[in-house]
Amino acid sequence: MTNTPALPDVNREWHLLSRPVGWPKPEDFALVEAPMPTPGEGQVLVRNLYVSVDPYMRGRMSDAKSYVAPFELGKVMQGGAVGEVVASNAEGISAGDHVLHFFGWREYAAVDAENAVKVDPQAAPLSTYLGVLGMPGLTAYAGLLRTAAFKEGDVVFVSGAAGAVGSQVGQTAKLKGASRVIGSAGSDAKVKLLVEEYGFDAAFNYKDGPVSEQLRAAAPDGIDVYFDNVGGDHLEAAIGSLNQGGRIAICGMISRYNDTEPAPGPRNLVRLLQTRSRMEGFLVSDHEDLQPQFVREVGPWVASGALKYRETVVEGIENNLEAFLGILRGDNTGKMIVKL
């Protein structure tokens, strides 16, 4: 085992104490002091430098049946993280290496080497491996190109377009030859960002009026692809604007995550029949085979500035929960990241 530098006596980590009903409350969580983990055989000890908070984590706080196991009560939560290896009991990874793994919401983590992916801080800033070059980036890439079967000339509508996934969907569509890209966001500043920095052809603030009316104004000839991060009125509006052979990729429905009662479904599903369209949900974990292609294509776009990204960085593990709640409120522009 490689030499371990002086480490703190305790490891701070976030635990889920109770399952939130509706909006999560601070009393549902606790920042606790736990023993410092010791890496076993085949493991590395990682000092987390950046941790990710993402909307899907709200689902894991519930015990409802879903595509991933719920967080356990009284146990440390999980999430994407990038950190520096401070001790190694595994071949192929040494102290001083930087790795991407899935044991965030804590300062230090003992990680099986097979679950740690080495990343290069010289090739791109470490935080980007949680965002534009990480899981959100691959989500955008797979959802647009595979699930929505994007093709050159398509008109694309993206909801939640100023977020980490949505902003990358819109830019990828433009770089791939979309004829028009429209985005929705929750503030005038974000709308301006979409058009002036990310190159969307049109964008609107969904708080300014009915989404269906604003979408029709922005896409008078209809849309071919809808990338859904929001659900609710956005989904209904998109279905109403679909052209023949339209495709909808369901990535997330953040407007529904804190509902305590079932939300009414779109009232115009008959249009899927009328337009011979399809709607398909997807999980990024089903498309990991695209990772090498994604990095080969998107990495140079990021390096050259052809694909732009924003990050909202919150400092300190003590603010991890507030950063997560900020995601649900829409406080972030681009990827929300906590810097430890």
Task: Report whether pLDDT(4) > 80.
Answer: no
pLDDT at 291 over 60: yes
pLDDT value for 68:
81
Taking only the tens place, the pLDDT of each residue in 188-244 is: 999 999 999 999 999 999 999 999 999 999 999 999 999 999 999 999 999 999 999
Given the structure tokens 């997560």, which residue do they identify? Answer: 324
| This prediction's pTM | 0.85
Phi, psi of 78 (to 5 degrees): -125, 160
Residue 242: which of 154, 176, 168, 322 has the closest Cα?
154
Distance (Å, rounded) from C-alpha 55 to C-alpha 63? 16
pLDDT tier for residue 259 given thresholds of 50, 70 and 90: low
For each of the domains in the chain, give its residue range(s) and CATH number, in order of start: 10-131+309-339 (3.90.180.10), 135-285 (3.40.50.720)
Q: Which residues are within 8 A (CB) of 21 and not within 5 positions of it... i.e. 6 or more apart? A: 260
- Across the chain, mean pLDDT equals 93
What CA–CA distance (Å, rounded) separates 21 from 258? 7
- Answer whether residue 254 shows pLDDT above 90: no
